[in-house]
Structure 1
């Protein structure tokens, strides 16, 4: 973990106070598989954390190839994972009780562990993120996974939030395709053919967040603006998942080795990289 000025660390907001959810919000999430929550992080709190995360992403972004020369996945975003291990200040953000409690309450579980975090920065001119399901990548034998997706800076209507397919999380494994032009075409045709309803939350303020289930179909537009779309994500899995899935793809095998080091199929989904961050 990189050194952080202790005085600066001491000044960082704790992010352990409660964000109160209504019964209607929880029911909406469980029905649709996604929700927008406003003002989870205040502007003052974000003024401490955004510079830390932005600087860490910049330090660990080794992609020097121009956007137009990358494949579809590479054009979609700069992706840096497990920032919580790189910086003590970001560790406080990622392991925040406030976020974890929301995740647990939306899923209706007693506790949650970190799966991993990801900074997803979409560069000016960056491409769209194709239709996909996150959990295609995850070797987890549970539907109780959820992702917090939070802009660190305001994002305009033209960049916007992700687009979610309402209720798609209830269908489970819909396609083995990873994020690609093929997944966008195949899943897009399926969505249109079935006439499935979609939701896009539009412009978001820094500190707002969407939450979506691991099986919720979603995509995101490109970035036609001249500014970076800075987004931080945190993935949670319900505590007590006692059976790690047997990896059925190279991506799931890689995730198992990377995010659950030393854990084998059939064992509990717990490793030093998956701390318990909230328990009711």
Structure 2
């Protein structure tokens, strides 16, 4: 059996590392850091293709010193699954989508979109923010997978979370920016939310809710911090009236043809996992 077949088999095999309290813990904390979600061999099978696609599709050509805070945070390439069949195998992995469904406590999840986020050596902070600021969705039943493609020690700027902050309404009107960094950093401290910063071993992954506030430090390492993300939606979620220009753009880009109040069933939003029931 080839390495590719072994990797594909793993992607379709349920993950057995979730504790019985996983859904309750996720509801309480707003995130979870899981070990051994994928094997190092599977990561090694897909990382070179993802990296080559990021290099090919990246449109950021300014030197780091000339970029704003957001531009220094990472190189960002979206919906790689539409560009490369091998990347699609990973993005559509039933194992990963099954974890998302179980954590959300829903019977099925569909794809919103994927993002490769590469923090270059000497890349800056990722400011405090909540992803769902950008998403025109009718509920908070959405979750982001954050999958590092290398071991990620603290010096490389792993993703960090404010425990329990998904229930905190302040700051939900802030895009990722210097302003969100200052205001949310202060709010997290004032509210005594624990700032959970941990290294990621190869094969570890995190899942966080759309309103969980999170951030990342700079990359002080000598190699890029290579990360693949996938955003999953409750399969029954509906599009909501956009509340800012970014949500208007997202409605057209990631849920094309979906009207406000409709379930996003476009070709870009396939169901990636549904339980047997």
TM category, shorter: over 0.9
Q: TM-score, normalised by structure 1?
A: 0.93
* C-alpha distance in structure 2 between counterparts of 1:272 and 1:138, whole Å: 18
Runs of at least 4 residues of structure 1 off by over 6 A?
7-11
Name 1:225's counterpart in structure 2: 221
Aligned-pair distance for 1:173?
6.6
Paired residue secondary structure (1:204): coil
Q: TM-score, normalised by structure 2?
A: 0.94
**2:171, 2:183 within 8 Å by CA — same for their partners in 1?**
no
- Inter-CA distance 8–258: structure 2 relative to 1 (3 Å threshold): farther
Name 1:147's counterpart in structure 2: 144
**RMSD of the TM alignment (CA)?**
1.6
* C-alpha distance in structure 2 between counterparts of 1:207 and 1:114, whole Å: 21
Q: Deviations over 1:37-84 (max 9, x none)?
A: 111111111121011101111111121110111011100000000001
- Inter-CA distance 133–125: structure 2 relative to 1 (3 Å threshold): same
Aligned-pair distance for 1:275?
0.5
- Inter-CA distance 85–11: structure 2 relative to 1 (3 Å threshold): farther
**2:157, 2:218 within 8 Å by CA — same for their partners in 1?**
no
* C-alpha distance in structure 2 between counterparts of 1:49 and 1:259, whole Å: 24
Matches within 5 A, 1:134-173: 134-172=131-169
* C-alpha distance in structure 2 between counterparts of 1:152 and 1:8, whole Å: 17
**1:150, 1:206 within 8 Å by CA — same for their partners in 2?**
no
Residues 266-275 or 229-238, more deviating = 266-275
Paired residue secondary structure (1:54): helix
Matches within 5 A, 1:103-252: 103-172=100-169, 174-201=171-198, 203-241=199-237, 243-252=238-247
Paired residue secondary structure (1:36): strand
Paired residue secondary structure (1:104): helix
2:258 pairs, out of 238, 254, 263, with 263
Matches within 5 A, 1:86-105: 86-105=83-102
- In the alignment of these two chains, the number of paired residues is 272
* C-alpha distance in structure 2 between counterparts of 1:8 and 1:189, whole Å: 47
